[in-house]
Structure 1
Amino acid sequence: MARRKKIYEGKAKILYEGPEPGTLIQYFKDDATAFNAQKKATIEGKGVLNNRLSEFFMTGLTNIGIPNHFIRRINMREQLIRQCEIIPLEVIVRNFAAGSIAKRLGLDEGTPLPRPVVEYSYKNDALGDPMVSEEYILAFGWASQQDLDDIVSLALRVNDFLSGVFYAVGIKLVDFKIEIGRIWDGDFMRLIVADEISPDSCRLWDIRTGQKLDKDVFRNDLGNLTEAYTEVARRLGVLPTQATHVNKPTLIN
């Protein structure tokens, strides 16, 4: 079989040329990074879990009419996705104070915000993905005003969906980040949710105990990352209810 052409490799995923025009294969690695890749490790089973969890969330978005890049899962580590032009922004939605916003505003971690707050950071690893304002985005042409209005609408709809899904299994969605891509149908352009949705891109706390079930476990040396992600998957029904920590998760189709 011919070797697939690599299109892009990031910190957690690799994109390969897809089998048909306009498609890509997204491969989930076991690599974990934090603090702009200053801290690195290989966490066995992480890529398998994130592949399956992102499939779960993207399928849920499709079912409620939120467009996204997901087509289907291929195997334990790969999924077929629509090729799109990624807008060079991370779109962050915050429901509770944590991380940088808590530090910037002097808020206690876990403080509920008056309403969901949408922020943007410029996707540039060399610069540390700096936070940017709408004025910067418009001035540098990364997105138009109409794009920004549509991005906020998409982000808040995703927030409503994810918050409800997590709350139903006893998890608080503190914040999350998504990426947005452009696709074209002739001259018509539309925006879709891209990249991934997984515990890598969300802050997730157990509602009752406050236990962290996201990448902060790795970032702050709070325990075993795969155990935390396995617990999220188990609660959502992605793993059998009797499952405990496993290095190579057994997944439900």
Structure 2
Amino acid sequence: MNFLFEKVAIITGASSGIGAGTAVHFATLGCSLALVGRNMEGLKKVAAECEERGLEADQILLVNTDVTREHQVESAVAEVINKFHKIDIVVNSAGCLTYGGLESTSEVFDDVFQINVKSIFTVCKAVEPHVSKSKGVIINVSSACSLRASPGLMIYGMSKAAVDHMTKTLALELAPKQVRVNAVNPGIIRTPIYEKTNTPWETTEEKMSIEGKKWHPLGRVGQVDDVAKAIAFLASDEGGFITGETLPVDGGRHISLPAM
């Protein structure tokens, strides 16, 4: 069932990871897509995969944008409106993962909050008039680290806790306009982000499997599709009475004892 048929979605961070996986899943559901990111080659690959899943080329817009830059975000939203004339769904998936706590520099702190928090605020501000007009949906990609403290991930966890608070507050502010705002909180998901950051453990399949069993009661690392399907549910009318929710997609991490 193409239950996002004739909907228009903006997906940030769409060149890889959860953003890319969400785009491909949305393509199977009949949703027109504005794929936003800094890596144009990555966006082109994702667009090609969306076409392979049945989406027409004219239903896809590639937008090379740095979502930490307010003027670029405003231009990107204008480009989307010019092509599709509306915005129904916004998926804020752009983000970074950085290990560090009190030993981190102020530059690291600022960078993490700039990418993980300010960018979402900036995108939400730019799209608000359009999602209000369409009575649309905003879904923010947060993290299980906002729900459970993890040694070595203080700054990252703080940034995602801010995303959760922003999600709940925006849900209240936009509810009178019938706009729903939710977040998903993934656990360890097999994405390129772990290969780009200073993880304290190797990212081989074997090591990822060990970490999945260590942190998740369900005993495995999550897959991108696990998160994409949860996002699609929240974006659809199937989740039409849900707002202000932070939905863990973490194999039970948020209810488990600390890993030793």
TM-score w.r.t. length of structure 2: 0.26
* Structure with greater helix share of residues: 2
Higher strand share: 1
